Chains A and B, each alone.
Chain A
Amino acid sequence: MLETYIKKYHKNNFQYILVDAAGKVIETDNHIIPIGNLTQIQEVHPFFEAFSDLFFIKNESYDFLCINLDFDKTSIIADITLQTHNDNKNLIIIEDLTKHYNNYQLAAQNRNESLINAQILKLKNLHLKEKEQFKNIFIANFSHQLRNPITALNIFSNLLKDTTLDDTQESYVNVINTANKNLKQSVEGILDISKIEAGKLILVEKVFSLKALLNEIINEHKLHITKKNIEFNFILDPKLPEFLNGDSFRLKQIIGNLLSNATYFTLKGFINLNISLNHIRANKANLHIKVSDTGIGIDPKDYEQIFKRFTKIESTIKNDMSTGLGLSITQYLISQMDGNIKVQSEIGIGSVFTCNISFKLATSYDKNLKEVLLHKVRKRLDKKHNILLVEDSELIQLSILKIIAADGNFFLNIISNGDDFISTIMDQDVDLILLSSTIQNYTAEELTKSLRKLSKEYKKIPVISISSKAFKEDIKSLKKAGINDVITKPFDEETLLNTIHQYLK
């Protein structure tokens, strides 16, 4: 009974071949591969060459699994068994498992492809990251090197301006001044971008007077705008709070960027600055800032583009000085302050940039407040104080000497290397130390630490570091070492004197 069914349904996926000790085919059932009698089995497929040596080993069995066999007309994947005998008759059994192995192949295909793709993606990301890192380090080093010359240029062109100059000379100095300001701005912009990309641009929170800040901004820009024969109107909402708590430097940068941008692209007409209070909620003031101009305008399809790095919509103005970083930094800063910025514009008519930003309200008891207000006052001091400058850049030495001499409140002593630091302090009366962050062989941290280790009276001497590193963690590390304050290069006369006066009263 069963026999008949087995005969009917028997899967005929086996082929049996009998070969002699040399591999000559004696008999074959040809169920899978047609092979003529007397053929050398090695000629059928190169796989069988592997058997040549095995035929001589009697009464052994060898299994070869998953062998791909390609012939002219067909391809199969089979398990092959070789059974040798001592009568020189060797049996080869081929079991065709193509279907089974094809399923296995499909699974392996999927697994390998996805593994390889994941590896390649990881490598690409790694590569990108390395490139990014290299770029950021490069930018940081490069802007670092520009700091000393920019500081000196800034200070000396200002000093030169205060000497007696004829009109031509004065106009030359003004050109130098403006060019240097632009240069400084570009370097700071590039540094901001590298900080943004490294995730190191961090907003600070400090109480500031909004009114004073806005006045400062308006005064700075009024000159530039009216010089181009463009009308400048500003409307400040009387409801604006007096004091806010936040990053005033970055707020100034945001408004300043929008105004500079408007000035740059407007040839005639007007620029309006409007600042109003949207609302006060949960102790936060939401400001509405609007800058409108009658400039060249922006095509709506470029709206997104203008906030991207290093892009600038084609301008009709030659002598292009700006790097086009301003708007992308502005947008980033606003987003960090949880605000938003929008642009509306028409080619040939003008543009309107509007943004909304929230700031914490400052209570009048805020302890920082006093500092803010005092900051502005620089008095004549009762007696002349001794300042020790430790700095190895001659450019900076000279710049500081000039500023301090002009102020008239201080004696300045300069040393250019760290070896003499402690002995100088022990020998002389020193009321304040200006310490460069990079002196040969020493770090400002090391020098300050060794100073603070001396007796009590030396612990109190204020130390102000003049640093060319501007990252937050650099400043943190300086302060941790016992440094009272940090001025970053490039700095100007105002900042230097204000900081010194703050510590010497």
Chain B
Amino acid sequence: MTTSKKIVLLGHFGVGKSSLIRRFVENTFSEDYKVTIGVHISKKTIDTPDKKTISLIIWDLEGHDDVEKNRASYLMGTHGFIYVFDASRPVTFENLEDQLLILKTKYPNIPVKVVANKTDLVKKTEINQYNDIFKPLVDFYTSAKTGSKVDLLFSKLANELI
């Protein structure tokens, strides 16, 4: 029997939430930016290492600079959060710590994966420059463009949900 798990992607607008999902679900990428309004829901079934199938219902939310601006109805019944920021734009991670604190307080038992996306745009040295701000908080350094670490992100989270 397949279990389904609801995963919600959060973060500022334009950080690559939709792109990460498109990379994971369809294995494609587009440079064009189409702003998401409301929510898009897609589904992908994956096999876990212990031969179980798990159906991921992925909610791609409209971007906000504050998680509290999201409609509460979208967050209902979430099993796992992915908080995405854009490693090339400091505005998208300057309030990272506060945002994670809000999530932890409101949803104490739901795992959150923190993702630094668009790593293809920044040099290692530039990432190091911001290390103080986000390094201890980040779980994955991804690029939806190159596909780097995208599958790993979703499968790691999925495994934690079973």
CB distance from A66 to the nearest CB of B (A): 3
A68 and B39: CB pair below 8 A? Answer: yes
Q: A378: CB under 8 A from chain B?
A: no
Please give me the residue from chain A that is nearest to B65 by CB atom.
A115
Among B69-77, B96-104, B131-139, B144-152, the stretch that binds chain A is: B69-77
Among B30-38, B46-54, B109-117, B154-162, the stretch that binds chain A is: B30-38
Q: Complex formed: what's the CA distance from A70 to B35 in Å?
A: 16
Interface set, chain A 230-251, CB cutoff 8 A to B: none
Which residues of chain A are near B107, meaning CB under 8 Å?
none
Which residues of chain B are near A203, meaning CB under 8 Å?
none
A108 and B41: CB pair below 8 A? Answer: no
Q: Mark B13-43, 1 if CB is under 8 A from A, else 0.
A: 1100000000000000000011111111111
B41 and A46: CB pair below 8 A? Answer: yes
CB distance from B89 to the nearest CB of A (A): 6
Please give me the residue from chain A that is nearest to B36 by CB atom.
A68
Please give me the residue from chain A that is nearest to B4 by CB atom.
A49
CB distance from A54 to the nearest CB of B (A): 8
**Range, interface on chain A:** 20 to 34
B89 and A116: CB pair below 8 A? Answer: yes
Given A68-B38, A108-B37, A113-B33, are A50 and B6 neighbors across the interface (CB < 8 Å)? yes
Q: Which residues of B contact A (CB under 8 A)?
A: 4, 6, 13-14, 33-43, 57, 62-63, 71, 73-74, 76-77, 88-91
Q: Is the interface of A mostly helix, strand, loop or mixed?
A: helix
Q: A119: CB under 8 A from chain B?
A: yes
The 9 closest A-B pairs by CB, nearest first: A66-B38, A46-B43, A109-B35, A68-B40, A47-B41, A105-B37, A108-B35, A112-B13, A46-B41
* Apart from A116-B89, A119-B91: 6 A-B pairs, beta carbons within 8 A: A47-B41, A49-B4, A50-B77, A67-B39, A112-B63, A123-B89
A64 and B73: CB pair below 8 A? Answer: yes
B89 and A119: CB pair below 8 A? Answer: yes
Q: Which residues of A contact B (CB under 8 A)?
A: 45-47, 49-50, 53, 62-68, 70, 77, 101, 104-105, 108-109, 112-113, 115-116, 119-120, 123
Q: Complex formed: what's the CA distance from A49 to B4 in Å?
A: 8
Please give me the residue from chain B that is nearest to A68 by CB atom.
B40
Which of B37, B74, B76, B88 is the one whose CB lies under 8 Å from A104?
Answer: B37
Q: Complex formed: what's the CA distance from A403 to B134 in Å?
A: 61
B14 and A116: CB pair below 8 A? Answer: yes
Given A49-B57, A116-B89, A119-B91, are A101 and B42 neighbors across the interface (CB < 8 Å)? no
Which residues of chain B are near A109, meaning CB under 8 Å?
34-35
